[in-house]
Every structure is written in structure tokens, then in C-alpha cells.
Amino acid sequence: MRRTEKPVSFRVEGENIPKAVLAFLDALFPDHVRIDDDEDLVAVEDTDWYKKAKAKMTPAKALKIMRTNAGLTQMQLAEKIGIAKQNYNSLERGARPISMMMAKKLADALGTSYTMFYED
């Protein structure tokens, strides 16, 4: 079942927002996160912290974040996409690259875009 896109609004305040929070938000809402900077909305893609977080985000890290957010174990997601748990574990650890076909299967199972898991 695919999630339908609905507007989401929340506020995170502070000067030292944990990197894991930024990576999680970026993984969940890659095209929709904005920050409020002195009352002027700024596209998140234009901020230095976003660029740094994006540079550190790998398909394997995004996969783990998305799987965890979906409340699935590695075994459950592996079964959903039709591969052995060991093969899935290799994808999530980054030991095995994620092919475009596999990225599409993962995206379908997690209700997101395959671009989260596939690098050209």
C-alpha cells in the first residue's frame, strides 16, 4: 500500500539539531523540508547544513532510516521484496550496491521514490 502525499507541518527549534534528525527528515521529505530563518522561508536545499547532511547520506543509510520508520525488521522487508535476509543486510550495510531494479522494489515496498536508494 502506497502512502498518499499529505501536507505535513512541524517545527524543530534550536541551534544544534542532531545530524540524525536532519538525515531522518531529509530521507522522509526530500523535496518538502524547509527551514524558517528569521521569518523568511528558505528552501532547505540552499542551506549549508542540508548540503552537508545530503553529502553524508548514502542509499544504505536512507534504506535503514526508511525501513525503521516503516516499523519493519530486516527479515520482514527482505520477505516483502523477495530476497534472503542476508542479501538485504548487505544492501543496508552498503556492502552490496543497490541496483535500479532493487531500488524500485524497495521504494514500492516502503512507499517512496526509488531515487532514495539509487545513485547514478
Query: Among 33-42, 47-56, 105-114, which range has the highest average pLDDT?
Result: 105-114
Please give the pLDDT value at position 3: 52
| Average pLDDT along the chain | 83
- Biggest alpha carbon–alpha carbon distance for the chain: 49
pLDDT of 24 over the 50 cut: yes
Helix (H) or strand (E) holding 66: helix 59-69
**HSE, side-chain direction, 13 A CA sphere, residue 107:** 16
Q: Model-level pTM?
A: 0.60
pLDDT of residue 38 exceeding 70, the answer is no
pLDDT grade, residue 39 (50/70/90)?
low
